[in-house]
């Protein structure tokens, strides 16, 4: 399927094939929500959305967690408009409230090299939470450059470039309701 934007601005139109359907995502989010409900019921939970790519997953996931929680947002960037992580993690937005003595649920869109997740875990550990639990919609084990601890994973995928459901290419394609594999980017 060729996905064409109505507006001009990105350098190319992408050929995108569906990798994970909207229904598969919804079903998996519900499963993750139930597991996280069981884990955090009655606990002081802070759910942290890693911006920008996680916002759709985060929104759906926290609505499927049946316990009280507070919401926080943390902006980081390592792609800088490219299709591969640069390896350099840059904080673009910090938390607005402390997480000391609280259970932290760190919600990420994709873990590929592992560098961003390691950076986030170390950064948050210094803030003295009771615990840090990680949840990533996508995991690319073939792209790992460092060991990483992931507690909950939505889907394992190959080392391909994907967009949709919050994930982007040059800040476009986030609004697709599915995960699409980009077929015409090197």
Looking at the DSSP assignment, which residues form a beta bridge with residue 90?
77
Contact status, residue 150 vs residue 136, Cβ threshold 8 Å = yes
> In the numeric block, which tokens belong to residue 138?
């996508």
Cβ–Cβ under 8 Å, residues 184 and 14: yes
Dihedral sign for Cα 10, 156, 63, 151, please: negative
Rounded Cα gap, residues 157 and 23, in angstroms = 17
Contact between residue 51 and residue 109 where contact means Cβ atoms under 8 Å apart? no
- Number of CB atoms found within 10 A of residue 149's CB: 11
Q: Which of 60, 109, 112, 168 is catalytic?
A: 112
| Residue 112 bears catalytic tag | yes
DSSP state of 24: H
Non-local CB neighbours of 173 within 8 Å, separated by 6+ positions: 3, 14, 16, 163, 164, 167, 180
Residues designated catalytic: 112
């Amino acid at each position: 399927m060729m996905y064409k934007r109505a507006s001009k601005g990105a350098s190319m139109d992408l050929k995108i094939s569906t990798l994970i359907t909207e229904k598969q995502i919804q079903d998996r989010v519900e499963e993750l929500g139930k597991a996280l409900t069981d884990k955090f019921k009655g606990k002081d939970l802070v759910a942290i959305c890693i911006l920008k790519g996680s916002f759709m997953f985060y929104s759906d996931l926290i609505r499927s967690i049946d316990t009280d929680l507070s919401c926080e947002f943390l902006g980081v960037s390592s792609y800088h408009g490219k299709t591969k992580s640069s390896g350099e993690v840059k904080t673009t937005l910090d938390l607005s409230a402390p997480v000391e003595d609280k259970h932290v649920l760190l919600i990420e869109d994709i873990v590929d090299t592992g560098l961003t997740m390691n950076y986030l875990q170390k950064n948050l550990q210094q803030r003295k939470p009771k615990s840090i639990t990680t949840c990533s919609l996508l995991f690319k084990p073939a792209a790992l450059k460092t060991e990483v601890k992931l507690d909950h994973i939505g889907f394992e995928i190959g080392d391909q470039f994907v967009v949709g459901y919050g994930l982007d290419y040059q800040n476009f394609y986030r609004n697709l309701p599915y995960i699409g594999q980009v077929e015409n980017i090197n």
